[in-house]
Structure 1
């Protein structure tokens, strides 16, 4: 799965995903040459972890996405 694929699936900007990666949030990423890829199983596991009461990760991800969205729309 590419960054574009995940951004489209989650309906969020790619910059949010890159920001999460920089901060160590989100699924595990694999670098293939200059390209980033995530395995579907890692994406699903990460999404499941958000639903299992890991409120700190959810709050941080939500705040980041909101602030990045506000920056882009300003």
Structure 2
């Protein structure tokens, strides 16, 4: 059986990345930052997407400008 990690909230991702929640919403509006999805009215993230985005930032991938 494949174990799936629970989806992350914007608050959890902001704490992990050390940025305000508002920054995540700005990044989403601008099309940068970790990929997230709306679940009803709520923004949720897959941890694998957040971690991959972070790795891309630290390894010379796309930059947030």
TM-score using structure 2 length: 0.79
What is the distance in 2 between the residues matched to 1:9 and 1:44? 10
| Ranges of 4+ aligned residues in structure 1 off by more than 4 Å | none
- Of 4-13 and 33-42, deviating more is 4-13
Instruction: Name the structure with the higher helix share.
Output: 1
Question: Shift in Å at residue 51 of structure 1?
Answer: 1.2
Unaligned runs of 5+ in 1: 61-74
**Which of 11, 33, 49 matches 1:26?**
33
- Using the size of structure 1 for normalisation, the TM-score is 0.70
Count residues in correspondence. Answer: 58
